[in-house]
Amino acid sequence: MPFARPRGFALCIRRRKHLDTMTAISRRSFVASAAALAAAPALGAIPASGQTDIVIIGAGAAGIAAARKVAAAGRRFALIEASDRAGGRCITDTRSFGAPFDRGAHWIRQPDINPVVKLTAKSGFDVYPAPLGQRVRIGQRNARESEMETYLATLVRASRAIGDAARGKADVSCAQALPKDLGIWRQTIEFMLGPYGCAKDLAEISAMDFAKAERDTDSYCRQGYGTLLAAAAAGVPVELSTPATGIEWERRLEVATPKGNITARAIIVTVSTDVLASGKIKFTPELPKRQLDAAAKLKLGTYERIVLDMPGNPLGLASDEAVFEQCANTKTAALLANVARSPLCFVDVGGRFGRGLAMQGEKAMIDFAREWIAGLYGADMKKAVRAAQATQWYKEPWILGAWSSAAPGAVAARRTLMEPLGNRVWFAGEAVHETLWGTVHGAWQSGERAAEETIKRLGK
């Protein structure tokens, strides 16, 4: 599931900083700031004249951040979104089970400096630190203390080996960098660092890109990360169900949409790398091979979430407790139990196995989750599932996957995507951040950076 960036190994090998739970202070300043933003001289919908200063394509975290920055600078803009909702890969579902849950991004990285958290700090959201540690199941029992120590030491050794490989002259895959003697923990560690941590198998991931990623403390939002992002976007007008179908960027700057064309002085494109490479947006002239190659080398991985409604806590786990298994093959998953004190449990799958499972459809995904839980806690757990639902981000037409990770040898691709087209078209999004890729935080910073460069280019 997109933007999760659930760095499982960080749960084990780093001690988290404890954050005070955020409490409601006053909504007055938040409402006032939202009203001020809405009143700024900016057009968030398609302008009646068909002309504006800046067109921002995509209303995910990067697009929202860019729009806020452009509005604050007093520039007119049109923020257009292809789907019928804003938020991109960060969306909270409040209807399916009667309790909020994140269909996409859930882990809040670096909450003490996260711009989305800072913007909503006085809005009454309950942001709390993720619990320390995790459980590992061996068959239908918990790993013993000595087994956990061996597992954690092996996980640290594997992570360090990738870091050591990243300091070499040639970029290799994370799989090539792993020690050969990981023993019975190899499959579990490959899942933790690959499909669970990066949405791809380790053979598909650059060791240098992996080593550059900044992942520290984690927190959750009881109301959902998508709800938090929506609050940060308050007052930013968005034109929904308005896909950009074409971009003219040489003779003139113009964005084609089904609702009409928009002429602009600059364009910020925040769509995913897979959408960029798919040709869904026709560039005239064609997008240069340099950018196309970079997008292809930053292809999105697969990360899907199966949500199980299990009332009464039949698993006997604490709120937000993470559980993995000592696995013998790639057909495994990660469990996050009793999410935000609700009866909802996440069973997350990723990488090649996750994609293959998702392609079989939602029923096959739910069946797998039931069987997997039963394998860890007993057959009775199948009956404990009251309802279930699964995401299929890989086939969302304007997203097409989870989040980016660079292919081996392609660590420079992110910097390539930072290069504007003729100082007229800028790219932004989680893929356009060298250290915070795969995070809402990184997407937000990328959007702000693109907006700042655009505003500077336009001048006073």
Domain boundaries, the chain: 8-15+129-220+301-395, 40-87+233-298+407-458
pLDDT number for residue 19: 28
CATH number of 8-15+129-220+301-395: 3.90.660.10
pLDDT at 133: 84
Average pLDDT, rounded, for the chain: 90
Question: Can you spell out the DSSP letters for 78-134?
Answer: EEE-SSSSS-TT--EE-SSSSS-EESS---EESTTT-HHHHHTTTTT--EEEPPS--
| Whether the predicted model's global pTM rises above the 0.85 cut | yes
Contact criterion met (CB below 8 Å) for 441 and 109: yes
**Quick count: other Cβ atoms within 10 Å of Cβ 406?**
27
Residue located via tokens 């269909």? 103
DSSP 394: G
Question: How far is residue 174's CA from residue 405's CA, in Å, rounded to a whole number?
Answer: 11
Three-state SS for 290?
Answer: helix
From residue 94, how far is each of 71, 121, 137, 222, 399 by CA, in Å?
30, 21, 31, 12, 21
pLDDT-derived band at 45 (thresholds 50, 70, 90) equals low
Mean pLDDT of 304-319: 98
Mean pLDDT of 410-423: 95
Longest dimension (CA), the chain: 70
Confidence bin at 44 (pLDDT 50/70/90): low
How much is the average pLDDT of 214-223? 89
pLDDT class of 132 with cuts at 50, 70, 90: confident
pLDDT at residue 460, as a whole number = 65
- pLDDT-derived band at 118 (thresholds 50, 70, 90) equals very high
Arithmetic mean of pLDDT, 23-39: 33
Average pLDDT over residues 199-203: 98
**Cβ(183)–Cβ(154) under 8 Å?**
yes
Closest CA to 9 of 202, 224, 146, 141: 202
Q: Which are the contacts of 355, defined by CB distance < 8 A and separation ≥ 6?
A: 302, 394
Helices 61-72 and 225-232 sit at what angle, rounded to 10 degrees? 20
pLDDT in tens, 355-410: 999 999 999 999 999 999 999 999 999 999 999 999 999 999 999 999 999 999 99
Query: What pLDDT is stored for residue 56 in this prediction?
Result: 98
Superfamily of domain 40-87+233-298+407-458: FAD/NAD(P)-binding domain (3.50.50.60)
Specify the pLDDT at position 341: 96
Other Cβ atoms closer than 10 A to 223: 21
Taking the C-alpha atoms of residue 87 and residue 81, their distance in angstroms, rounded to an integer, is 9
Q: Which residues pair with 115 in a beta bridge?
A: none
Do residues 320 and 337 lie in contact, with contact meaning Cβ atoms separated by under 8 Å? yes
- Alpha-carbon span 16 to 214, nearest angstrom: 14
At 50, the pLDDT band (50, 70, 90 cuts) reads confident
**pLDDT tops 60 at residue 445:** yes
Contacts of residue 288, defined as CB under 8 A and 6 or more positions apart, other chains included, come to: 421
Transcribe 169-208 into DSSP letters: SS--BHHHHS-S--GGGHHHHHHIIIIIHHSS-GGGSBHH
Phi, psi of 316 (to 5 degrees): 65, 35
Q: Quick one: average pLDDT of 266-285?
A: 97
The DSSP call for residue 287 is P
Q: Given this model, what pLDDT does residue 1 score? A: 47
User: Percent of the chain scored above 70 by pLDDT?
Assistant: 90
66 neighbors 34 (Cβ within 8 angstroms): no
